[in-house]
């Protein structure tokens, strides 16, 4: 399956592990990713609140370049980028005058022929076409599938059948051996771009998400959005200070979960880049939560998935977030 690929800014910067894991598993899934040449930032998450035409022109240019390259479908793994490209395609196809104006701005023809796909769209196809047969090490963990805001909204544009209680990610991780839990925060906002300007808000919103997942026995949170991963993983210290509670719950991209099940190693999947150590295996669910005045239990290194080995993906004790994100 040959498909276009729009990495977006995050996958080439703060969320390199998402990019690494996607490219590591793609050949194993029979997916050939063709990057859009000369793509540009989609404008997420601020452009649409500042200038409507700019917010359309930025994604439209990349979509036009995908068309020019002969790509019928375009995988956009970042859910914020996916939202901007899908919404732009929808708006321009619905309004001929606006489409004409935007094509003049970008100086490229745009027909809307290239369909925008989320990572769940692509992995859903794989799950229905032999993914289970490729599994070497079933994931074997209880997971909280976190969709966030952009994968299910707006309903008329996204492809999740049940926007308030989606099942697509749950169904995919089941195929590779994970056990998705029922929980209350799968589509609640993590705070998104407030991660810099209003860290207190992010700590409160993301803290509710982490706490509910841990309290219901999840051993990991699974995401498909770089901003969600940043707020749930990199902002964990702020979450713990706000809630006066320690959480050992790791946050993995869905591509990393699939990669582990396919037998890939932690560095191939970028697990060493995470702020919260990724140590799965024989961890009692109760270990995910500990009182703030107690020592947070150290999760036992994985025997399942075996790819993590005894070392896990732990950063050096006391390392800064910047050190933990190093190559």
The one-digit pLDDT tens for each residue of the chain (327 residues) are 899 999 999 998 888 999 999 999 999 999 999 999 999 999 986 777 689 999 999 999 999 999 999 999 999 999 999 999 999 999 999 999 999 999 999 999 999 999 999 999 999 999 999 999 999 999 999 999 999 998 999 988 998 989 999 999 999 999 999 999 999 999 999 987 776 668 889 999 999 999 999 999 999 999 999 999 999 999 999 999 999 999 999 999 999 999 999 999 999 999 999 999 998 764 334 345 555 444 333 333 333 343 333 323 333 333 333 333 444
Three-state SS annotation for 159-185: CCCCCCCCCHHHHHHHHCCCEECCCCC
* pLDDT at position 114: 98
DSSP 1: -
Per-domain residue ranges for the chain? 2-117, 136-324
Tell which residue, 185, 181, 160, has the closest CA to residue 170: 181
- pTM for the whole thing? 0.86
* pLDDT at position 197: 64
Tell which residue, 64, 5, 82, 8, has the closest CA to residue 40: 8
Question: Architecture of 136-324 per CATH?
Answer: 3-Layer(aba) Sandwich (3.40)
In contact, 160 and 166? CB cutoff 8 Å? yes
Output Rg (C-alpha) for the chain, integer angstroms: 19
| Secondary-structure percent of the chain, ordered helix, strand, coil, rounded to 5 | 45, 10, 45
Q: What is the spatial distance between Cα 201 and Cα 190, in angstroms, rounded to a whole number? A: 9
In contact, 31 and 74? CB cutoff 8 Å? no
Helix locations, the chain, DSSP H = 16-25, 47-50, 52-68, 79-94, 96-106, 119-127, 131-134, 168-175, 194-197, 199-215, 226-229, 236-243, 254-261, 321-324
**Annotation: CATH topology of 2-117:** Glutathione S-transferase Yfyf (Class Pi); Chain A, domain 2 (1.20.1050)
In contact, 269 and 39? CB cutoff 8 Å? no
Q: What is the spatial distance between Cα 308 and Cα 120, in angstroms, rounded to a whole number? A: 24
List 112's β-bridge partners, or say none: none
Q: What is the spatial distance between Cα 297 and Cα 289, in angstroms, rounded to a whole number? A: 9
* pLDDT at position 289: 58
């Amino acid at each position: 399956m040959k498909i276009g690929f729009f990495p977006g800014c995050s996958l080439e910067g703060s969320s390199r592990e998402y990019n690494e894991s996607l490219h590591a598993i793609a050949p194993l899934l029979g997916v050939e990713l063709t990057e859009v040449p000369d793509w540009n930032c989609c404008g997420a998450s601020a452009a649409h609140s500042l200038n409507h035409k700019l917010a359309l022109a930025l994604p439209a240019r990349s979509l036009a370049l995908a068309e020019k390259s002969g790509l019928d479908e375009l995988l956009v793994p970042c859910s914020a980028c996916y939202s901007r490209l899908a919404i732009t395609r929808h708006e321009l196809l619905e309004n001929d005058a606006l489409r004409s104006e935007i094509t003049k701005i970008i100086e490229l023809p745009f027909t809307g022929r290239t369909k925008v796909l989320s990572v769940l769209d692509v992995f859903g196809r794989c799950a229905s076409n032999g993914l289970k047969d490729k599994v070497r090490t079933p994931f074997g963990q209880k997971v909280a599938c976190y969709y966030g805001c952009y994968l299910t909204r707006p309903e008329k544009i996204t492809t999740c059948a049940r926007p308030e209680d989606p099942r697509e990610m749950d169904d995919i991780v089941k195929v590779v051996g994970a056990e998705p839990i029922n929980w209350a925060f799968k589509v609640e906002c993590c705070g998104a771009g407030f991660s810099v300007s209003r860290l207190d808000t992010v700590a409160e919103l993301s803290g509710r998400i982490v706490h509910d997942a841990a309290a219901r026995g999840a051993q990991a949170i699974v995401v498909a959005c770089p901003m969600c991963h940043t707020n749930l993983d990199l902002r964990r210290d702020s979450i713990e200070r706000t809630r006066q509670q320690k959480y050992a719950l790791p946050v993995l991209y869905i591509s990393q979960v699939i990669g582990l099940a396919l037998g890939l190693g932690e560095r191939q999947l970028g697990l060493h880049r995470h702020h919260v150590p990724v140590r799965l295996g024989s961890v009692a669910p109760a270990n995910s939560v500990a009182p703030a005045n107690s020592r947070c239990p150290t999760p036992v290194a994985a025997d399942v998935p075996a790819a993590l080995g005894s070392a896990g993906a732990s950063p050096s004790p006391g390392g800064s977030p910047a050190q933990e994100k190093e190559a």
